[in-house]
């Protein structure tokens, strides 16, 4: 962040509620932090009349409320709206907002299903394995998943496998890679399955004498090499 902000804006008597997360926000700093950390997962309608009214009446920021409202009326996706609010609030440097700006550009070329996958891919890239597994599973359980191309669903399964491998759950990773191959027919998924199965089996220590600490380091090295192959 560009500087230290500690409740420099008004604190609301009534919080802005993010109902799906059970989250209550009381000031502009909290709102900006939430938007910055969750830009890829903002729901349609979150940045709407309820937020405009809260900014205007609870935080007494009519100018910010009006500018955000006018920007949202242009039909921008939620990530663009989050970027605009963060820029207007001035709590983050321009350089810090570049990733959100790039994400907003990418989002505008995708439908809702594609945007959710892109967001989950970002979590995987950042090695937030547990959360990206949850997001990929949500994607696969959506009603519109059946209308997606098999290759795309297979790629989601492959990424699930990568996430499970990142948690060292190689048996589950192998299952996901196998299901991925059934749909996307990519050699990468089949090879990843074979690698995962090999790591899922107990690894025999080398014949030559190895110190216990060295054996642990060898196992870690094997796992790291595997992650490089499948990601």
Helix (H) or strand (E) run with residue 16 in it? strand 16-18
Q: Given a cut of 80, is residue 52 above it in pLDDT?
A: yes
Q: Given a cut of 60, is residue 136 above it in pLDDT?
A: yes
* Predicted TM-score (pTM) above 0.75: no
Determine whether 172 is exposed, middle or buried from the number of CB atoms within 10 Å of its CB (0-12, 13-18, 19+). Answer: middle
CB 96 within 8 A of CB 86: no
How far CA 112 is from CA of 16, 43, 50, in Å, comes to: 25, 10, 22
Q: Are residues 60 and 131 in the same domain?
A: no
Q: Are residues 101 and 165 in the same domain?
A: no
Last residue of a domain, one of 75, 90, 109: 109
Least confident of 8-17, 23-32, 183-192, 213-222: 213-222
CB 87 within 8 A of CB 97: yes
Amino acid 220: pLDDT: 63
Last residue of a domain, one of 69, 93, 109: 109
Q: Are residues 125 and 218 in the same domain?
A: yes
Pinpoint the alpha helices (H) of the chain: 28-38, 49-53, 62-72, 78-89, 94-107, 112-125, 129-141, 150-166, 170-184, 187-200, 212-230
Place of tokens 């009214």: 53
Amino acid 4: pLDDT: 41
Q: Are residues 115 and 103 in the same domain?
A: no
Last residue of a domain, one of 86, 109, 132: 109
Q: Are residues 138 and 221 in the same domain?
A: yes
For residue 138, what are the domain limits? 111-231
The number of domains in the chain is 2
Which of 80, 122, 94 shows the shortest CA–CA distance to 1? 94
Q: Are residues 90 and 137 in the same domain?
A: no
Q: Are residues 139 and 83 in the same domain?
A: no
Q: Given a cut of 80, is residue 215 above it in pLDDT?
A: no
Mean pLDDT calculated for residue range 178-207: 84
**For 116-130, what is each residue's pLDDT tens digit?**
888 888 888 888 899
- Report the distance separating Cα 148 and Cα 141, nearest Å: 12
- Report the distance separating Cα 164 and Cα 175, nearest Å: 10
């Amino acid at each position: 962040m560009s500087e230290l902000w500690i409740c420099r804006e008004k604190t609301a008597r009534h919080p802005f509620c993010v109902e799906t997360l059970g989250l209550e926000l009381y000031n502009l700093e909290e709102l900006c932090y939430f938007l910055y950390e969750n830009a890829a997962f903002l729901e349609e309608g979150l940045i709407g009349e309820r937020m405009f009214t809260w900014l205007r009446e609870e935080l007494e920021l009519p100018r910010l409320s009006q500018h955000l409202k006018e920007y949202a009326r242009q039909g921008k996706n939620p990530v663009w709206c989050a970027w605009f609010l963060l820029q207007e609030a001035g709590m983050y440097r321009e350089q810090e907002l570049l990733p959100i700006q790039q994400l907003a550009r990418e989002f505008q070329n995708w439908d809702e299903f594609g945007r959710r996958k892109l967001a989950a891919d970002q979590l995987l890239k950042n090695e937030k394995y547990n959360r990206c597994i949850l997001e990929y599973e949500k994607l696969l359980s959506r009603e519109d998943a059946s209308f997606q191309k098999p290759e795309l669903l297979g790629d989601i399964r492959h990424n699930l496998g990568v996430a499970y491998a990142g948690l060292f759950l190689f048996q589950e990773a192998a299952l996901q890679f196998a299901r991925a191959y059934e749909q996307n027919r990519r050699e990468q998924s089949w090879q990843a399955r074979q690698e995962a199965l090999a790591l899922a089996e107990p690894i025999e220590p080398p014949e030559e004498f190895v110190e216990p600490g060295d054996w642990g380091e060898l196992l870690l090295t094997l796992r790291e090499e595997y992650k490089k192959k499948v990601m």
